[in-house]
Amino acid sequence: MELAPIVDAGWVLAHRDEVVLADVRWYLDGRSGRDAFTAAHVPGATFVDLEHDLSTPGDPTDGRHPLPSPEALATALGRLGISDRDVVIAYDDSGGGTAGRLVWMLRVLGQPAALLDGGLQAWPEPPETGGGTSRPPTTVPPRPWPADRFASHEEIASAAEDPDAVVLDARSSPRFAGDDASVDRRAGHIPGAGNAPWAGNLDPETGRFRAATALRQRYADLGVEEDTEVICYCGSGVSACADLLALERAGVGRTRLYVPSWSGWSADPARPAAQGRE
């Protein structure tokens, strides 16, 4: 199935029997995503745990949410009953800041997946409570991560100095500037990066993603054209995926994720940190 990176609730309702709904709520402030899911979720959804299903432990320089190995991801998806043939629609309650991680991961593996535009708040039916849908376990073959969709420490440092490439930090402006270091190991950002807070992809009145033309203009203002090489990062390689999906919607194709993001970069004291909003 050819699937856009972001779909609305009407599309999901029309294809309800053809998709798997995945709730990927996780909170930076420590609240429980699973508790939020139990209290209210889209009927028929399955909870996907960002920490345990979509991440793996690693060295501090790997960041807070390193990618799982192909084998670990295959095991997690199989346990959840999500096969490599399923069409996955993921959502959260932030507009895509966490669910985008699952969507982007599956899309780079060639599996159809999309964000539910507007998330839980945009679902037109009454929410369901309880443990959610339990899907029968399945066997998922490990699929190698495509190396050309990821950037290493050295590659993002080089790209940040390359006038033909653009590095974008998806964190909020205060965290980017170094004014708010409450979450991060060190204040600031990768020298040479621009700031594209992921929430800026959303219309503040509706909580839904802006149209492709508006997103295209947003990223053009940051130096991104259709064929520009773009590397995105955030605090730990999660919310940057929302920028990557927005870039895809805008028609930008040469994009990569720096998974360690600022948490991994800043864990090495030898790596520089820039401050300020420019």
Q: Is the pLDDT of residue 215 over 70?
A: yes
Give the chain's mean pLDDT: 96
Q: What number of residues does the chain have? A: 278
Q: Which residues are 216's β-sheet partners? A: none
Q: Is the pLDDT of residue 181 over 90?
A: no
The CATH number given to 147-265 is 3.40.250.10
pLDDT, position 138: 97
The closest of 83, 59, 86, 55 to 69, measured between CA atoms, is 55
pLDDT tens readout for residues 111-134: 999 999 999 999 999 999 999 888
Residue for token pair 């669910």: 99
Q: Is the pLDDT of residue 98 over 80?
A: yes
The CATH number given to 6-122 is 3.40.250.10
In a 10 Å sphere around its CB, with 0-12 CB exposed, 13-18 middle and 19+ buried, how is residue 269 labelled?
exposed
Instruction: Establish whether domains 6-122 and 147-265 are of one fold.
Output: yes
Q: Which residues are 91's β-sheet partners? A: 23
pLDDT, position 132: 85
Where residue 277 falls among pLDDT bands split at 50, 70, 90? confident
The closest of 126, 129, 105, 125 to 115, measured between CA atoms, is 105
- Structure tokens, 156: 């993002």
For the chain, the maximum distance between any two Cα atoms, rounded to a whole number of angstroms, is 52
Q: Is the pLDDT of residue 274 over 80?
A: yes
pLDDT tens readout for residues 49-69: 999 999 999 999 999 999 999
Q: Check: CB of residue 180 under 8 Å from CB of residue 262.
A: no
- Is 234 assigned a catalytic role? yes
Q: What one-character DSSP code corresponds to residue 150? A: B
Average pLDDT over residues 249-271: 96
Q: Where are the domains of the chain?
A: 6-122, 147-265
Q: Is the pLDDT of residue 228 over 90?
A: yes
Active-site choice (48, 234, 246, 259): 234
Q: Is the pLDDT of residue 2 over 70?
A: yes
Where residue 1 falls among pLDDT bands split at 50, 70, 90? low
- As a whole-number percent, the residues of the chain with pLDDT over 70 amount to 100
pLDDT tens readout for residues 195-210: 999 999 999 999 999 9
pTM exceeds 0.85 = yes
pLDDT tens readout for residues 250-260: 999 999 999 99
